[in-house]
């Protein structure tokens, strides 16, 4: 595909944020993307659609991802999702999660945003009071956005994730400056490494975000194939700080560095699910105890173990339930012209 292959076109997006992390939703793809096998085929699952795009150089959907994530229309920490057909009629729709570096397998903050978006768009009829389920197929499996309504308004969304579990514990990682840290690995639709920030003498606070980006990249590189799970590379590194603990709740603040140096402004939905699984394995979330998970900007998700689930590892499995809320920021119409000298976008970081 050359830069002049398509006529200029409009793309409409609905832009939301969940706990501060952006989620740009594209409900209708342009015709040259709709005609690709990754979308047009009725036999592909969402996971297969993702893989086809990844395996195809200059795939038009990948180019559109770059246009919407990179400057001048986005930024280095942009996130979003393309709405695609579900795997079967039992789900409302599917979604391909995207960011500046590619297509992720899971996204909890995006699932929460999609629940709010679907109700706002009238995709399902919501009760004035009560809950309604949005069933969504994502690359890691089938998830649910359980939207809680109160007096006709969205009160919160419960993200019901795929089965999650600890993958490994107490892995020693030697950093380039010769410091050593201990890492736990957890699966929540993607694999995360969990590092107690106290090992590094750091508090989780916004002014240290560059430090966490550098450290996240170092830890990811050092772990390498040791962190591969389900034939996928390590997705994110979660630096956590212990804040408080009572009989009812454990409170931690985190900074999640995902993909190539992106900082999650939210507490990270799939990362929170993986954190729940690790804490369950450690015996710290028994008897309905909840995790109050704060982000680097102090926004909050609350999470519980949910129900037990089989695990492919020696650690217990569960289906975590992560609660948050998304907010609409705006609707955009982007004019995409492949003759633009900045196409498909640029990044400074």
Residues with a known catalytic role: 107
Q: If residue 9 lies in a helix (H) or strand (E), which one and from where to where?
A: strand 9-18
Q: Phi and psi of 124, rounded to 5°?
A: -135, 155
- d(Cα 305, Cα 21) in Å, to the nearest integer? 23
Nearest-angstrom CA–CA distance, 184 and 53: 31
DSSP 88: S
Q: Round to whole Å and give the CA distance between 68 and 225.
A: 31
Q: What are phi and psi of 269, to 5 degrees?
A: -70, -55
Residue 95's closest CA among 154, 43, 42, 143?
A: 143
Which among 252, 231, 341 has a CA at the least distance from the CA of 295? Answer: 252
- Taking the CA atoms of the chain, what radius of gyration do you get in angstroms? 20
Decide: helix, strand or coil at residue 53: helix
**30: helix, strand or coil:** coil
Does residue 156 contact residue 323 with C-beta atoms inside 8 Å?
yes
Which H or E run contains 329?
Answer: strand 326-336
- How far is residue 138's CA from residue 84's CA, in Å, rounded to a whole number? 10
Cα separation of 295 and 301, whole Å?
8
Cα–Cα distance, 286 to 56 (Å, whole number): 45
User: Could you give the C-alpha distances from 301 to 20, 233, 337, in angstroms and in order?
Assistant: 11, 25, 39
């Amino acid at each position: 595909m050359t830069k002049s292959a398509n006529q200029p076109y409009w793309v409409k997006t609905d832009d939301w944020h969940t706990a501060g992390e952006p989620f740009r939703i594209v409900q209708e793809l342009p015709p040259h993307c709709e005609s690709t096998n990754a979308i047009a085929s009725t036999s592909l699952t969402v996971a297969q659609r993702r893989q086809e795009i990844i395996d195809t150089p200059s795939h038009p959907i990948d180019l559109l991802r770059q246009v919407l994530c990179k400057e001048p229309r986005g930024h280095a920490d942009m996130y979003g999702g393309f709405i695609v057909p579900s795997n079967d009629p039992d789900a409302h729709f599917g979604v391909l999660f995207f960011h500046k570096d590619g297509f992720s397998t899971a996204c909890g903050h995006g699932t929460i945003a999609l629940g709010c978006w679907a109700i706002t768009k009238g995709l399902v009829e919501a009760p004035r009071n009560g809950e309604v389920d949005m069933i969504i197929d994502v690359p890691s499996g089938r998830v649910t956005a359980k939207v809680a309504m109160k007096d006709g308004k969205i009160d919160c969304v419960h993200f019901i994730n795929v089965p999650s579990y600890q993958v490994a514990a107490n892995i020693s990682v030697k950093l380039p400056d010769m410091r050593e840290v201990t890492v736990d690995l957890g699966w929540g639709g993607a694999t995360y490494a969990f590092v107690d920030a106290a090992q590094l003498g750091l508090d989780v606070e916004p002014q240290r975000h560059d430090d966490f980006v550098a450290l996240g990249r170092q830890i990811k590189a050092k772990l390498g194939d040791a962190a591969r799970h389900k034939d996928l590379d390590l997705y994110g590194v979660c630096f956590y700080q212990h804040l408080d603990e009572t009989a009812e709740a454990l409170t931690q603040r985190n900074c999640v560095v995902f993909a190539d140096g992106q900082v999650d402004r939210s507490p990270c939905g799939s990362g929170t699910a993986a954190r729940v699984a690790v804490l369950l394995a450690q015996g710290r979330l028994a008897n309905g105890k909840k995790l109050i998970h704060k982000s680097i900007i102090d926004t909050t998700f609350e999470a519980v173990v949910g129900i037990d689930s089989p695990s492919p590892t020696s650690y217990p499995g569960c289906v975590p339930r992560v609660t948050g809320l998304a907010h609409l920021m705006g609707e955009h119409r982007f004019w995409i012209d492949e003759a633009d000298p900045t196409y498909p976008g640029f990044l400074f970081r």
